Amino acid sequence: MKADPFLTTLGLAVRARKVVSGEEAVLRAIRTGQAKLVILARDAGPNTGKAVRDKCRSYGVTLIEGPDRYALGTAIGKASRVALAVVETGFARLLLEHLARAREAEREAP
């Protein structure tokens, strides 16, 4: 099975200490201007989802829906994570590129 470039890059960003995880830490990163990209698990609860979405909208931070909480957690070496903030522009840009390529491949698939 081929490794997912998005999750692989996310793991590299974590090892480089460029990712903040957990709802409160992510909200703090957004408020302080550190968050360059926020990833919200597709199975996030309604309250967490609303809090993170609203904060990203208020502060102009790009928000993407990621895989489920367990895939996000595995990518960063934890059991599960609902919200992550990437705090470095280069990693944020690379993750967005991987996501765009994956979506393009999905559209082209028969």
Domain extent listing, the chain: 5-105
Output the CA torsion sign for 10, 35, 98, 104.
positive
Mean pLDDT value of segment 20-41? 96
- Could you give the 3-state DSSP secondary structure of residue 41? strand
Looking at the domain that runs over 5-105, which CATH code has it been given?
3.30.1330.30
pLDDT confidence of residue 4: 87
pLDDT confidence of residue 1: 55
pLDDT confidence of residue 107: 84
Predicted confidence band of residue 20 (pLDDT cuts 50, 70, 90): very high
Per-residue pLDDT at 59 exceeds 60 = yes
